[in-house]
Structures are given as C-alpha cells and as structure tokens.
C-alpha cells in the first residue's frame, strides 16, 4: 500500500470519527506536557494532525500565528466551528505534505500529537519536518507506546491497565479523580464506535522506539520521556 492510499484510508476513518463526534476527552491529558516543551518565544507554531483543535486553541496563546493541519476535512470543519481565534489558520493536509506547503525554516515549533504513527516512512517525515523549523526551534512529538501486531494481546492489555492506573493516580493527585474516571469511561466507550473500530483495523505496525531509532540515526539533539504507560513525548531541538 503506498502512502497516498494509506493516508486516504486514515482520512476516511477520521471523517467518520468526526461525524460520530467520538474524539476521546482524554486527549487533554497531554496538552500541558506539549505546551511546557515549546520554545520560549514563538512567532509560528504548526499543529500537524490537529484533530478537533482543542490543543490548537491553547497553542494560540503562545504564538502570533498557529497553522493547523489534518487529513480529515470533516475534523477540520469541526475545529473551525469550535473557535474564532484570529491567529489560527486551518487547512487540510497530511504530515507528509507539509514540506510542500510550508517554507523551509519558517516554524518555531511543529507539534505532531498522536499522529506520526500514521506516517509510513518516519525517517523522511522527521527529516522534512526538521527542515521546516527555524534555528533554536523545536519539533515536539507525542505518540503511542505501541500499535499494530508487533506486540502481543497480553502486552497491549498490560499497557492499557498500567495506563489506566497512572492516569487515575494523576487525577487523584490533581483532585480530579471523578472527572478522570468519567473521561476514561467515555474513552473506552468511544473506541467501540464504528469510526474507531474501522481506524484501529488500519493501525500500522508501530512502536515508540521507531521514533527513537530515527532520531539517533539523524544525529539530532533530543530528549524523551514517558508521559504515562501509553504515550511518550519526544522533544527535538534544532
């Protein structure tokens, strides 16, 4: 399957997810980690794979211009309808297409939030994204511990249980346990929707270590940390 056909499948999945309004509320759990990793001064931030734009709205408080892209036209429509911030521009586009849309060295930061695992050639994609970032800028990637068939069902179930536990502990410490439990319940219900079941059947064979390996091969300056037992955050400094 080539990139364009795969991207088309993923876009169709998220069109259905948008129509069903089945974006998990737990997405907010990672916003603070991403925002705290931004460069101190930002003229332009790119939100690549912006989804319904909840993080995009927050990013608009930290830059003069925010450019948000997603491969789903339906999700872009939802994102536009949810905010009226004048410094945000939404457009349809895949992560792989950004190097043909944006100028080299034009972005202070590019955020790829839970979507780089949809890219089939990580090395080319990450290299192209870094070319779009200004000196002293940052590429910020948050993505899954693992997807696809590389891991066993036992491993995936174990990771989910550890994820559930750590998210609940953080919710308790932040005095938001009731809200957290509700959001986790909603997340589980939404993943049973037609859109998510269709999408999960298209998930590529991916592990967070794939990102780590590419960054090492590119010999760039980066750091990474586990956000919880399901997601990792990579911060690449230009």
Distance CA 137, CA 158 (A): 36
Cβ atoms 68, 91 nearer than 8 A:
yes
Report helix, strand and coil shares of the chain as percent, to nearest 5.
50, 20, 30
- What pLDDT does 1 receive? 45
Distance CA 173, CA 194 (A): 34
Which tokens hold the place of 162? 């550890």
Which tokens hold the place of 98? 């950004």
Closest listed residue to residue 141, CA positions, set 52, 218, 58, 222: 222
Q: Provide the domain limits for residue 206.
A: 3-237
Answer left, alpha or beta for residue 53, where phi above 0 means left and psi between -120 and 50 means alpha.
left
Which tokens hold the place of 192? 């049973």
For 231, the enclosing helix (H) or strand (E) is strand 231-237
Per-residue model confidence as pLDDT tens digits over 181-195: 999 999 999 999 999
Cβ atoms 118, 141 nearer than 8 A:
no
Identify the CATH number of the domain in which residue 165 sits: 3.40.50.150
Per-residue model confidence as pLDDT tens digits over 67-95: 999 999 999 999 999 887 899 999 999 99
User: Quick one: average pLDDT of 91-100?
Assistant: 94
Counted domains in the chain:
1
Q: Is the per-residue pLDDT at 45 higher than 80?
A: yes
Per-residue model confidence as pLDDT tens digits over 2-42: 457 888 899 999 999 999 999 888 888 899 999 999 998 89
Cβ atoms 110, 39 nearer than 8 A:
no
Q: Say whether pTM exceeds 0.95.
A: no
For 142, the enclosing helix (H) or strand (E) is strand 133-144
């Amino acid at each position: 399957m080539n990139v364009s056909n795969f991207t088309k499948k993923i876009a169709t999945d998220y069109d259905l997810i948008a129509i069903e309004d089945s974006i998990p509320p737990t997405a907010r759990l990672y916003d603070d980690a991403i925002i705290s990793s931004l460069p101190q001064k930002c003229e332009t931030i790119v939100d690549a794979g912006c989804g319904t734009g909840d993080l995009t709205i927050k990013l608009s408080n930290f830059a003069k211009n925010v450019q948000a892209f997603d491969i789903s036209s339906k999700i872009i429509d939802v994102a536009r309808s949810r905010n009226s911030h004048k410094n945000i521009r939404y457009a349809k586009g895949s992560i792989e297409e950004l190097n043909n849309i944006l100028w080299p060295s034009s972005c202070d930061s590019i955020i790829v939030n839970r979507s780089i695992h949809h890219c089939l050639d990580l090395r080319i994609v990450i290299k192209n994204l870094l070319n779009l970032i200004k000196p002293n800028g940052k590429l910020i990637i948050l993505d899954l511990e693992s997807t696809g068939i590389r891991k066993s069902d036992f491993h995936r179930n174990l990771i989910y249980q550890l994820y559930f536990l750590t998210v609940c502990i953080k919710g308790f410490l932040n005095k938001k346990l009731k809200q957290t439990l509700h959001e986790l319940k909603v997340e589980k219900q939404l993943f049973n929707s037609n859109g998510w079941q269709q999408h999960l059947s298209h998930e590529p064979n991916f592990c967070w270590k794939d990102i780590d390996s590419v960054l090492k091969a590119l010999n760039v300056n980066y750091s990474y940390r586990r956000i919880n037992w399901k997601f990792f955050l990579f911060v690449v400094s230009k």
